[in-house]
Amino acid sequence: MTQKDRQETQVMLHDILSGWRAGYESHIEVTNLALQKIEKHLEKLNGTVASQQKIIDQNLPHNIAHCSQVKNIEELKENMITGKAIRNYIYGAIGIMGALTGILYVIFEILVR
């Protein structure tokens, strides 16, 4: 390889790397602009959320003691607990009956054979 070939290769590599670097830097710039746009949008949303949260905190009670429907809520809660207890009792009874039926069937089969 002659000196002239080396210089041409160096110039070619320099041009390729310069083009790659320019593309890379423009990509970073576009990404930064997009991130700034997203950040501005999030700041706007956060301000809206904060103002709505303030309104909610001012207008809504934080527990049921201040609610006008406390009696109805307690009644529903009581019915749900009772309904759950009954459902669990029924499931337990069905399970016990199934187990007893199986045991009786096994005993019957043992006695009959």
Q: What are the structure tokens assigned to 77, written together? A: 């809660």
User: In whole angstroms, what is the distance from residue 110 CA to residue 108 CA?
Assistant: 5
Cα(101)–Cα(26) distance, integer angstroms: 78
Which pLDDT does position 61 carry in this prediction?
Answer: 64
E strands in the chain: none
Q: For Cα atoms 39, 44, 50, give the angle at the middle one, nearest 5 degrees.
A: 120
pTM: 0.37
- Confidence (pLDDT) at 90: 92
Q: What is the pLDDT along the chain (113 residues), one digit of tens a residue?
A: 788 888 888 888 888 888 888 888 888 999 999 999 999 888 888 888 888 888 887 877 667 777 778 888 888 887 777 777 888 889 999 999 999 999 998 998 888 87
